[in-house]
């Protein structure tokens, strides 16, 4: 992930990446690399993660980074982020996101974000996820920052996989970043 991902982030700041993972061990490795590479590049990290996984990540990072480097990480509980209104509600999520990134944007501070997307059941209307991911894709381009959206592969029905490939221009697969051939920019939708 390091060289290809870093090169992509260096070449262009507006990068929206889908990461479908299955093994938690691989997931942890990817998020650790993302954070370390971002801090090495001088970026602040907005880590939207669940409160069960974050302590594992934090513990490992504390052995790899200095105390000053650890200050570059802004942890956001993903349950609070995605369900701040009581359910998965895109306008509330967008408002929470804007409030989170605004200080970085206002102060022209370079940042990148990792969002671990989870939900309690598959009963949520999947079109809401599509609408939200399109809004996020527009925000990535407008605010010019890199974002990786991580979804657990086994919890993604085929319809959702298609939506996610259509809303993310890049896909992280096996430590390689590829272009999503199914990506449909909002302007073409």
Query: Mean pLDDT, to the nearest integer, of 106-113?
Result: 95
C-alpha span between 156 and 105 (Å, rounded): 32
Render pLDDT for 156-177 as a digit per residue (tens, 0 to 9): 889 889 999 999 999 998 778 8
Render pLDDT for 28-45 as a digit per residue (tens, 0 to 9): 999 999 999 999 999 999
Angle between helices 126-143 and 158-167 (to 10 degrees): 20
C-alpha span between 159 and 127 (Å, rounded): 10
Q: Does 135 have pLDDT greater than 50?
A: yes
DSSP 3-state of 75: strand
**Which pLDDT belongs to residue 95?**
84
Domains of the chain: 2-188 (3.40.50.300)
**Which pLDDT belongs to residue 151?**
93
Tokens representing 85 are 């209104």
Torsion angle of alpha carbons 41, 42, 46, 51, nearest 10°? Answer: 80
- This prediction has a pTM of 0.91
Query: Mean pLDDT, to the nearest integer, of 90-98?
Result: 80
Of 77, 25, 80, which Cα lies nearest the Cα of 51?
A: 77
């Amino acid at each position: 992930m390091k060289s290809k991902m870093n090169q992509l982030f260096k070449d262009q700041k507006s990068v929206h990446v889908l990461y479908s993972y299955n093994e938690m061990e691989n997931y942890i490795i990817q998020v650790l690399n993302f954070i370390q590479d971002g801090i090495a590049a001088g970026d602040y990290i907005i880590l939207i993660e669940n409160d069960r996984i974050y302590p594992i990540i934090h513990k490992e990072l504390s052995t790899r980074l200095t105390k000053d480097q650890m200050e570059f990480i802004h942890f956001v509980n993903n349950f609070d982020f995605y369900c701040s209104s009581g359910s998965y509600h895109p306008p509330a999520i967008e408002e929470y996101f804007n409030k989170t990134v605004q200080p970085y944007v206002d102060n022209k501070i370079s940042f990148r974000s990792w969002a671990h997307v989870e939900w309690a059941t598959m009963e949520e209307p999947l079109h809401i996820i599509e609408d939200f991911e399109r809004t996020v894709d527009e925000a990535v381009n407008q605010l010019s920052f890199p974002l990786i959206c991580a979804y657990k592969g086994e919890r993604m029905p085929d319809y959702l996989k298609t939506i996610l490939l259509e809303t993310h221009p890049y896909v992280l697969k096996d430590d390689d970043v590829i272009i999503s051939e199914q990506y449909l920019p909002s302007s073409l939708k």
